[in-house]
Structure 1
C-alpha cells in the first residue's frame, strides 16, 4: 500500500489538518526535480556551446514529459506553476519552484490553504489520480493500531520503520552544509517547507501531550478521592444492625453493590451466628484492594512522567455520600477508558508522522539521487519530542495499571482487552464484511415491497372496501406506522454516506466504539420491522372478505406490540447494546433536559421526532378508533379533539425545553439557544393555530389569517436556521458560491444547492392545505408528512457533516464526560492557596485544556519545550541563509 493512502486510512479525521502534508511534499519534489532537470540541461549547454541546440531540445522534451505527467495526476494548470506549455521555438527557461497548490508554507509564511485539496484538510477520500507505485512508498502491511506502549512493547513490530540508512558520502558535513552545497535556492524550498512541517507537527504534538498530562493528573486526583469514597462506603455498609430480623427485611437494607462476603456476613447474623474470623473476612478483601491500588499509584509515580501531578494531594474537605459511590465509580471508569482512547490516537499520530518524514525523505533521495535522509532526519527530527518523548507510552502504561487496579481487580489482561475495545474505527486492522446481515436485509425488504404492493391492490378493490368499511381509517393508521419505520430504514443510508466520507458518527453520537453497528448491521432491525408491518398490512386487506378468526382491525395494534417486544426485549439478540442505547436516548429526549444535560444525540433525536409529528398526532386517532370499536361512520376526527395538537407539539416542546437547558448550562452566556427556543415556539404556535382553523370547520377569516401568519413565520425561521446554523452554508468566501470552505461531499457539490432549494420548498409544504376539498385532506396530510420525513433525511447528511467539521476545527477527539468530584485547580504562581477546590460538583473531562486560566500556562509550556527542539532548526536556517548569500 502506498504511504499516502496508508496515511489517509489511519489518520484521525478530527486531526487531519495536523498530520504531515505528504501529498503536498510529493508535489513539491516533482517541481524540484523538474527545476533541476532544466537547470542541469542549461548548465551543460553553456559548457558545451557547440551542442547547445541539441541539448536544449533534449531538455525541452524532458520538461514537457515531466509537465504532462504532472497534469495527468490531477494538478491544477494555473498561471502560477506550469500554466502553459512551451512552444518549440521559445527559449528554454528554468521554472521556479512554487508552493501553490500544495498546501505547504515556508518558515513563518502563511500556509497555502486555498489551494490545498479538501481531502487533506478533513476527509481521507481516495484520490483518482493515477500514481506510479514507488517501492519506497509500500507499507508492507504495517499496522499502526497495535502501537501503544512505546518501543519496548507492541512498537517492536514497527522497529524496521525507524532504521535510517547510515550510508553517507559526506560524513563530516552537516545537513545545512549539504543542502547549501548540493541544491540551489529554488531547490532548497523543499527543505524550508519540510522544516515548517516539522515545526508545525512538533508544536501540535506538544500541545496535545500537555493536555493529556493535565487530564491524567486530574484523573489521578479523582481516583484518590474514589479510594477514600470507597472506604467511607464500606464503613457505612458495615453499620447495618444484626439480630432477630427477618432475612428479607435485613437484605432490603443492604445497599446496592455489596460484595458476596458482606452479604454472607449479614445472612449469618440472622441466624445468631458469627463468621469464624469476622474481622479478617470483612476486611481482608478491602485490605488487599487498598494495597493493590496503593501499589498502582506508586507504580505510576515511578514512571516519572513529566508534569504529572501524581503525588497525593492535601486531604479534601469534601464530604462523600456513600450512596453515590457506585455512580462515581462508573463515571471514572468511563473517564479512564476515554483518556486511554485519546492517548492511543496521540501515540498513533506521532508514529504516522515519524513514518511520513522518513518516507518523504526517502522519496526525495530516490528522485534527486541524493543522500539527505539520514542527515536531515538525524539532525532535525530524531532529537525532537516527536521521537524522543516517552510521555505518551508511559501514560498508556499508567492507565492500563490504573484500570486493572481500580476496575478489574488487578487483572491486567482483562483490563487491556477492555481498553482496546474503545480503539477508534480508523485504527482498526480490518473492517468486517457483514454479508449475512446484508442478505437478510435484502430478503426482508423484498418481502416487504411485494406484500405492500399487493396489499394496496386489495385495499383499492370495491369488494374489500364493501366488506371492510373502515378501510380509509386503516390506511391512515398504517400510514402513521409506515413513516417512522421507513425513516429508520433510510437512516442507514445516512450511516453509509457518513462512513464513506469518514464522518465520525460513532464519536458524535457518543456510541461505544466496541459495540457500534456497521451500516449493514443497522439495516437488519428496521428492515425486519418493515417486513412485519407489510405482513400485517397484507393480512388486513387480503383476508377481510374471508371472515378470518382474527379481526383485520387488530393487526395495526399487533404490529405495535411486536415492535415494543423486539426493541425493548432484554435478550442478547438483535444488537442488544444498540437497542438499549436507543431507548436510553429516547428517555433522555423525553425528559426535555430537565433531569440530564443536553448532548448532541439528544437534540438530534429531538429534531428527528419533530419531523414525525404526523405520527404523533395520529396516536390519538389510533386510540380513539379502538376505544369506539372502529364504528362507521368514524367518530374520530383529527379536527375534533385538542389532544391532536397537544400530541403533535410534544417534539417541538421537548426541543424548546432542551434549548433552555443548554442556555442555563452555558451560564446564560450563549443567547443563540434562546433564539433557537423561539424557533420551536413558532412551530408550536403554528400547530395550534392550524388546528384552531380546522376545528372551526376551516371557516373564519381571523383564524385563517393567524394560521397563515404563524405558518409563514415558522417556515422562514426554520428554513433560515437550517441553512445558516445547522448546515453552516451561505458563506460569501467559499470556493463554491453560497456554500462553505470545506465540504465533505465535494465530489457531488451541486447537490448542496439541490438540498438548499428542496429544504426551503418543503418547509412551505403547508401551502397544499390551501387547495383541494376535505375529501383529499387525509391524502394531502400524508404526502406532506412523507415529504417532511424525506427533508429531514436529507437534512441529516449535512447536519452531521457540519458537526464533524466543528470537531475538526477544535481538534476534538474525546467526549465531554463529567467527573464525580470537585477538581483541584493547578496552583498558579501567584496563588496563596493551591488546594482550593472548584465550586462545581463536576468537571468536563474533555474541556480541561480549554479553560482560560490554563490556556496561557499550556502555551507557555509549549513555547519552553519547543526552544530546545527548534535550536538546531534555527541554527540550520541561519547558516543556510548565510551560505546562500555568500
Structure 2
C-alpha cells in the first residue's frame, strides 16, 4: 500500500483537517516534476530517480567526486551539501479561540531562479502552513491533556482519601494527622486488595509534605504532571524556610474530603428522581461502600478514556512526523536537491518532534491505573487500557456464505412450490394470508431491517464514518457488516424453513383442525429468538445483545434515563417498526385465544385488541417524545422542544389512522388525511434540514451542505426525493388503494417494508451529518463524568 493511502487509513476520522495535507503537497511536487520534464526533455526520458543514481555513478568512476575546499564548504553548508533552504522560527502571538501562542516556522527557498523554482517556493510555503497547523494543533491538545491530567490527579487524591475513610474508618489518619503506627488489616482479604489498601494508607501518610506545596513532584497517588522548579544555588535557605512553613500549615490529605462532594449524574431513574427532589446537583459524602464503588467505576472509565486520548495524540504526532519525512524525501528525489536534512532537523527540534509530555503521561497513567484499579496486576491493567483489535474470523465468512446460500435456496423453493401446487388459488389461501402471513411477516421486517443496518455499516466504513465512537460501542465489541449480515441470513433461513413447514393448508377431515405441531412453528421461532436475545451466556455476540437491550430498556423507561445518541437512535428505528410490534400483538392474540387450532382470527374483533392497536402503535413515538422533553429541560435546547412537537403531531396522526382502520367512515378518513399530511410535511422537513443538514442555501454545494462524504451530489438529491415519496406511503392506508394481485395484508406489509428501507437510507445520512459535526469540532473523545466535585470548582461554575 502506498504511504498516502496508509496515512489516510490511520488518521483519526474527526481530526482529518488537522493532519498534514499529504495529497496536496504531493500534487505540487507532481507539477514541479512535469515542469522540469517539459523544460528538460532528457529528464523525461530518464526514470524518476534514475538520473541522480547514474550521475553519482559517473562521478565516482570519472574522478569528479572529491572533497570540497573550506571555501566551498562554507558556501554549501557544514555538511558539504549545497544549501537550498533556510528555516527560521518566528514568534507570533495567536492567542484566541482554538489558537495557541508560540513559534511559527518560515522556510526561505534560495534557488527560486532555477527551472520551476517559483513552484518550489509555493511548495515550501504550503509545507510551512501545514507544519505550523499540525504543530499548533498538537501543542493545544497536549496542553489540554495536561490540564485534564491535573484534574484526574485531584480526583485520585479524593478517591484514595475516600477509600481509606471507607475501608479503614477506625484508622488514626481518618480523624487525626498524628504519625500513625502501621497496622495490618484485621479482616481477611485477598493479597491484591490488602496490598492496595496498605499502599493507600502509606500514600496518604507520606504525601502530606507535597500535597499543597508548589512544584510538588509526581507521587504515587495520581498523575501529577507539574515539574519541580527550584533555585537552591541562589537562596536555598529561604526556600527551606518556606517549605518548612508550608509543611507545618499543610492540612491532612484526608481533609480534602471536607471540600469534596459527590457528583449526581441524572443517568438512572433513581438519580433522576433524587435530582428532581434535591436543590443541588451535588451531595455530601456519606462514606458508604456503594458510593466508593460508583466513584471507582467512574474514575476507572475516566482513566481508560484519558489513556485512549493520549494514544491517539501520540499516533497523531508519529504519523505527521512520518508524513513530513516522506514528502521531503520525495521532494529531494524529484528535484535532485538535498533540502530534507535541514527541514527535518527543524521538525525534530520543534514542539511536535521534541515534546515527550504525552509519552511520560502514558507511563504515569499506566502505573496509576495498574496500582489502583487492577490490584497491581500489570497484565490485567494493560489489557484493560489497550484492548486487542478485533480480528476477522474465517468461520464468519464460511457461515455467511452457507446461510446466504441456504436462504436463497429456500426462497426459490418456496416460490416454485407455490406456483407448482397453485396454492394461491386454493380455498385456504385467504385464511393463510389472514393468519399465518402476519405471523411470518414479523421475521421479514426484522431481517430486512438487519440487512439495511449491515448495508449502513458497510457504507459508514467505506466513507470513514466513525460509527463505533458515535454510538459509544466498547472498543473491540462493535459488530461489522459481515456479522450483522450473518445474523440476518441465519434468521432468514429459520423463517423460510418455518414458512415451508406451514404450507400444508389441508384440514384434518376427522378433527377439522390443523396440525398443532406445524401451527406452533411460528411461536417456536419467536420463542427461540427471544431466548437467544436475552441469553446471559457469552454466546452470539453477548456484549452487542446487552447493549441493544440496555438501549431498548432506556427507551421504554424514558424520560427517567439520560438520553444518549444510541437511545434516541434506537427509538427512531422502532418508529419504523410499528407493523412489526403489531405482529407481536397478533402473536399474543392468536395463540393466547387458541385461534391457532382452527386458523381463525376471532380475537382481532375484540375491543381489547382494538385498544391495544392504539397503545402498541404509540409506544415508540411516545418514547421518542419523552426523550425530547428530557433533552429540552436538560440541555436547554429549544430545537429539542420543536422536535418533540414533531413527534406529538405524529402521535395524533397515528391515532387518527388507527381510528380510521378500526371504525371506518368519511369523518375519520378526513381527520386521518389532514393530520397525516401535517405530520409527514413536518417530519420530511426535519429529516432533510436538521437530521441530514441539507437544503442550505448559502452552502458551497447548492442546496446541500459544505462538507459531503459522497463525491456524487446526485446521490443526495435522489435520497431527498425518495425520502419525500416514502414519507407519504401512508396515503395507501388512508385512501384504501388496492392492487388486484395482492392481498390487503400483503400490501400493508409491502408499505411497512418501504418504511424500513426509508429508515435505512435515513440512518446513513443522519450518522454522516453527526460525524461531520464531530469533525468540525475535532470531537474524537467521549466526555466521562468525574465522581468528585471540589468546592472551588463550584465557585467557578457560579
Instruction: Provide TM-score, normalisation by structure 2.
Output: 0.76
Contact 1:570–1:576 (CA under 8 A) maintained in structure 2: yes
**1:326-359 CA distance string (max 9 Å, x none):** 2221121111111111111100111111111122
Tell which deviates more after alignment, 166-175 or 595-604.
166-175
* Whole-Å separation in 1 of the counterparts to 2:766 and 2:617: 24
Contact 1:621–1:638 (CA under 8 A) maintained in structure 2: no
The match for 1:564 among 508, 511, 530 is: 530
Aligned to 2:478: 516
Aligned to 2:241: none
Does residue 140 of structure 2 align to residue 207 of structure 1? yes
Contact 2:146–2:225 (CA under 8 A) maintained in structure 1: no
* Whole-Å separation in 1 of the counterparts to 2:538 and 2:774: 34
Does residue 702 of structure 2 align to residue 737 of structure 1? yes
Aligned to 1:298: 219
Q: What is the CA distance between 1:524 and its match in structure 2?
A: 2.7
1:648 to 1:307, Cα distance in 2 relative to 1, 3 A: farther
Does residue 390 of structure 2 align to residue 435 of structure 1? no
Tell which deviates more after alignment, 561-570 or 219-228.
219-228
Contact 2:443–2:491 (CA under 8 A) maintained in structure 1: no
1:794 to 1:180, Cα distance in 2 relative to 1, 3 A: closer
Structure-to-structure mapping, 1:638-657, within 5 angstroms: 641-657=610-626
Aligned to 1:799: 766
* Whole-Å separation in 2 of the counterparts to 1:196 and 1:343: 25
Q: What is the CA distance between 1:619 and its match in structure 2?
A: 2.8
* Whole-Å separation in 1 of the counterparts to 2:646 and 2:50: 56
* Whole-Å separation in 2 of the counterparts to 1:735 and 1:420: 41
Q: What is the CA distance between 1:234 and its match in structure 2?
A: 2.1
Q: What is the CA distance between 1:433 and its match in structure 2?
A: 3.5
* Whole-Å separation in 2 of the counterparts to 1:134 and 1:550: 82
1:814 to 1:307, Cα distance in 2 relative to 1, 3 A: farther
Q: What is the CA distance between 1:3 and its match in structure 2?
A: 2.1
* Whole-Å separation in 2 of the counterparts to 1:31 and 1:198: 21
Total equivalences in the alignment: 668
Aligned to 2:272: none
Q: Describe the SS at the equivalent of 2:730.
A: helix
Q: Describe the SS at the equivalent of 2:623.
A: helix
Aligned to 1:724: 689
Contact 2:150–2:225 (CA under 8 A) maintained in structure 1: no
1:230 to 1:464, Cα distance in 2 relative to 1, 3 A: farther
Q: What is the CA distance between 1:204 and its match in structure 2?
A: 0.8
Contact 1:617–1:644 (CA under 8 A) maintained in structure 2: yes
Structure-to-structure mapping, 1:601-616, within 5 angstroms: 601-616=566-581
Does residue 723 of structure 2 align to residue 762 of structure 1? no
Contact 2:572–2:624 (CA under 8 A) maintained in structure 1: yes
1:800 to 1:460, Cα distance in 2 relative to 1, 3 A: farther
The match for 1:344 among 311, 324, 340 is: 311
* Whole-Å separation in 2 of the counterparts to 1:678 and 1:307: 58
Contact 1:166–1:374 (CA under 8 A) maintained in structure 2: no
Does residue 409 of structure 2 align to residue 475 of structure 1? no
Aligned to 2:270: none
Contact 1:478–1:537 (CA under 8 A) maintained in structure 2: yes
Q: What is the CA distance between 1:580 and its match in structure 2?
A: 1.4
* Whole-Å separation in 2 of the counterparts to 1:510 and 1:633: 46
Structure-to-structure mapping, 1:595-674, within 5 angstroms: 595-630=560-595, 634-637=601-604, 641-666=610-635, 668=636, 670-674=637-641
* Whole-Å separation in 1 of the counterparts to 2:606 and 2:32: 75
Contact 1:455–1:538 (CA under 8 A) maintained in structure 2: yes
* Whole-Å separation in 2 of the counterparts to 1:3 and 1:814: 26
Contact 1:468–1:544 (CA under 8 A) maintained in structure 2: no
* Whole-Å separation in 2 of the counterparts to 1:212 and 1:331: 18
Q: What is the CA distance between 1:804 and its match in structure 2?
A: 0.9
* Whole-Å separation in 2 of the counterparts to 1:781 and 1:236: 67
Contact 1:610–1:652 (CA under 8 A) maintained in structure 2: yes
Contact 1:365–1:371 (CA under 8 A) maintained in structure 2: yes
Q: What is the CA distance between 1:595 and its match in structure 2?
A: 2.6
Contact 1:585–1:601 (CA under 8 A) maintained in structure 2: yes
* Whole-Å separation in 1 of the counterparts to 2:399 and 2:677: 45
1:665 to 1:31, Cα distance in 2 relative to 1, 3 A: same
* Whole-Å separation in 2 of the counterparts to 1:20 and 1:368: 21
Q: Describe the SS at the equivalent of 2:321.
A: helix
Contact 2:434–2:745 (CA under 8 A) maintained in structure 1: no
* Whole-Å separation in 1 of the counterparts to 2:494 and 2:5: 43
Segments of structure 2 that go 5 or more residues without pairing to the other structure are 53-76, 89-105, 172-184, 208-216, 230-249, 262-283
Q: Describe the SS at the equivalent of 1:838.
A: helix
Aligned to 1:581: 547
1:224 to 1:686, Cα distance in 2 relative to 1, 3 A: same
Q: What is the CA distance between 1:175 and its match in structure 2?
A: 4.4
Q: Describe the SS at the equivalent of 1:541.
A: coil
1:461 to 1:174, Cα distance in 2 relative to 1, 3 A: closer
* Whole-Å separation in 1 of the counterparts to 2:42 and 2:613: 77
Contact 1:331–1:818 (CA under 8 A) maintained in structure 2: yes
1:391 to 1:526, Cα distance in 2 relative to 1, 3 A: same
1:679 to 1:561, Cα distance in 2 relative to 1, 3 A: same
Does residue 656 of structure 2 align to residue 689 of structure 1? yes
Q: Describe the SS at the equivalent of 1:370.
A: coil
The match for 1:416 among 382, 395, 404 is: 382
Q: What is the CA distance between 1:285 and its match in structure 2?
A: 5.8
* Whole-Å separation in 2 of the counterparts to 1:726 and 1:197: 33
Q: What is the CA distance between 1:558 and its match in structure 2?
A: 1.0
Structure-to-structure mapping, 1:760-839, within 5 angstroms: 760-769=724-733, 770-772=735-737, 776-822=743-789, 824=790, 836-838=792-794
The match for 1:710 among 675, 679, 683 is: 675
Q: What is the CA distance between 1:469 and its match in structure 2?
A: 4.2
* Whole-Å separation in 1 of the counterparts to 2:399 and 2:413: 21
Contact 1:541–1:552 (CA under 8 A) maintained in structure 2: no
Q: What is the CA distance between 1:810 and its match in structure 2?
A: 0.7
Q: What is the CA distance between 1:471 and its match in structure 2?
A: 4.8
1:655 to 1:281, Cα distance in 2 relative to 1, 3 A: closer
* Whole-Å separation in 2 of the counterparts to 1:408 and 1:600: 31
Contact 2:299–2:786 (CA under 8 A) maintained in structure 1: yes
1:333 to 1:282, Cα distance in 2 relative to 1, 3 A: closer
* Whole-Å separation in 2 of the counterparts to 1:789 and 1:499: 21
Q: What is the CA distance between 1:189 and its match in structure 2?
A: 2.3
* Whole-Å separation in 1 of the counterparts to 2:85 and 2:762: 60
1:349 to 1:538, Cα distance in 2 relative to 1, 3 A: same
Tell which deviates more after alignment, 731-740 or 496-505.
731-740
Aligned to 2:13: 13
Q: Describe the SS at the equivalent of 1:836.
A: helix
1:545 to 1:167, Cα distance in 2 relative to 1, 3 A: farther
* Whole-Å separation in 2 of the counterparts to 1:706 and 1:552: 43
1:324 to 1:530, Cα distance in 2 relative to 1, 3 A: farther
Structure-to-structure mapping, 1:63-142, within 5 angstroms: none
* Whole-Å separation in 2 of the counterparts to 1:384 and 1:791: 51
Q: What is the CA distance between 1:734 and its match in structure 2?
A: 4.4
